[in-house]
Amino acid sequence: MMAIDFKAQAEALRDELIARRRDFHAHPELAFEEFRTAGIVAQELQKLGLEVRTGVGKTGVIGLLEGGREGQTILVRADMDALPILEENQTDFTSSVPNKMHACGHDGHTAIALGVAKLLSQHRDEIAGTIKFVFQPGEEVGRGAQAMVDDGALEDPRPDVTVGLHLWNSMPVGKVGVADGSTMAGASIFDIKVTGKGTHGALPHVGIDPVVCAAQIVTALQTIVSRSSDPLDTLVVSVTQIRAGDAYNVIPQFAELHGTVRYFRNETRDLARERMREIAVNVGFAMRCEVEVNFVDLTIPVINNAEVGAKLRPLFAEMLGADNLDTTARTMGAEDVSLFMNDIPGFYFFVGAQDMTADAYYGHHHPKFSIDENSLPLAVALLSQAVAAYVLPE
C-alpha cells in the first residue's frame, strides 16, 4: 500500500479540530461530570461507525475501530475533564462556566483523539487489528483511569500497546517530548494529624502545642529528599497545606499537614513513606504530641516502553525533523495514563503547544493557561502515525 501522509490528512481536519476544541473549552466539565463532553464523543464515534461503550467508569467512553484484517489491538487514550479554576482569558470561547476551566489542555486531547478516530476510520479496510479509543473522566483527580480499568476498559479486547499524548505548553509547536523510561511521576498524597493539648496562648506550659510540633515536622520532612534518598533518584516531598487554630490567644488542640510526594520508582515512594512516618511520629514524641500519618497512593509513574519508543521516534523524526525530538522530556507532574500502561507496553509523549501570543508564560493549571492551536493537527498526525505503526503495516 501507499504510505499515508498523516500530516496532510490531519491538516485537512484543522478547522474541525479547532472548532471542537473551542466548543469543549467553552463548556468545561469537572471530574466524573463529563456528561456533555462524553455525549459528543459517543455521538461522533458512532457517526464514524465505531462500536461505542458509554458510562465506563461513570462518564468514560470507549470506541472500537475494527480493521478489515486481523492484528494487534492498540489503545489510544484521551482525557476529558477540566479543573476548578476561574478562567481569566478573554476569547470567543472563554469558559462559560464560572470556576471551571480547561486549563490543562484536555479539551484539545478530546478533540485530537476524535480527529485520530476520523482520520483512521478513513483507512478502515487497510487496518490490520483493532484501535481502542479510550476517553477517560477524572484525570485531574487521579481516579478516572482506575474507574475505567475497574469497569473492564483493559479487557475485551485487551490492548497489546497503549499510546497517548499531552499537549505541553512549555514547549513550542513542532517539538515533541519522546523520552524512554519514567517520564511522569507517580503521585501519593499524605495527611499528618498532630494532636496536642489546647491552652491559653499566654500559658503554653500548661498545654502541649501542636503548632510548634507541626512546624518542626515540616522542616524535618525536608531531610527525606536531602538526606535519605539517593541524590541521583528523583523525589519530591511537598507540604502544601497547614491548618491549625482559630484565635490569637488560643493554642489549639490539633494541627494538620497535607501534601504530595512525587517519584519515579516505587522503591523511592516506599522510602519516602517510611521516613515520613518515622520523622513525623518521632518529632511528635519529642514534642509530646500524638501524630498520625495517612499516606495514600494516587497514580503510578508513567514509564515509556523502550521498544515502542524505538519504533515511534524514527517515524516522528521523519515528520518533524530529528532535531525537534526531545528525548529528555520528563516532569514530576503525574498522569493516570500510567494505569493503561501498567503491564502493557506503552508510550506517552508531549506535544509542544506553547502560545507565543500570550502576554507572559502561564503554565498548566494557571487561570490564563492557553495553547497554540497549530498543535492540534500536528498532534493528530503524530498520534495517527503512532497507531499506524502497529495496525497499518506497509
Question: From CA 220, how far away is CA 17, in angstroms rounded?
Answer: 49
CB of residue 149 to Zn ion, shortest distance in Å: 18
Q: Which is nearer to Zn ion, 4 or 165 (CB)?
A: 165
Nearer Cβ to Zn ion (53/77)? 77
Least distance (Å) between residue 49 CB and Zn ion = 29
Q: Considering beta carbons, is residue 104 or 120 the nearer one to Zn ion?
A: 104
CB of 333 to Zn ion, least distance (A): 7
Residue nearest to Zn ion (CB): 104
Residue 168 vs 316, nearer CB to Zn ion:
168
Q: How far is the CB of 108 from Zn ion (least distance, A)?
A: 10
Comparing CB distances to Zn ion, the nearer of 6 and 348 is: 348
Cell of 186: 507517580
CB of 139 vs Zn ion, minimal distance in Å? 6
- Distance CA(27)–CA(15), nearest Å, equals 18
C-alpha distances in angstroms, 244 versus 56, 213, 294, 352? 40, 11, 18, 42
Q: DSSP letters of 280-331?
A: HHHHHHHTT-EEEEEEEEEE--EEE-HHHHHHHHHHHHHHH-GGGEETT--E
End-to-end CA distance of the chain: 6
Least Cα distance to 306 among 278, 335, 345 occurs for 345
Taking the complex as a whole, how short is the minimal distance between the CB of residue 335 and Zn ion, in angstroms?
7
Question: In sequence order, which ranges of the chain are alpha helices (DSSP H)?
Answer: 6-11, 14-26, 35-47, 106-121, 144-150, 210-223, 266-286, 306-320, 375-391
Instruction: Identify which of residues 279 and 329 has a Cβ nearer to Zn ion in the complex.
Output: 329
Q: Are 29 and 102 in contact (CB under 8 A)?
A: no
Residues of this chain that interact with Zn ion (CB under 5 A) are 104
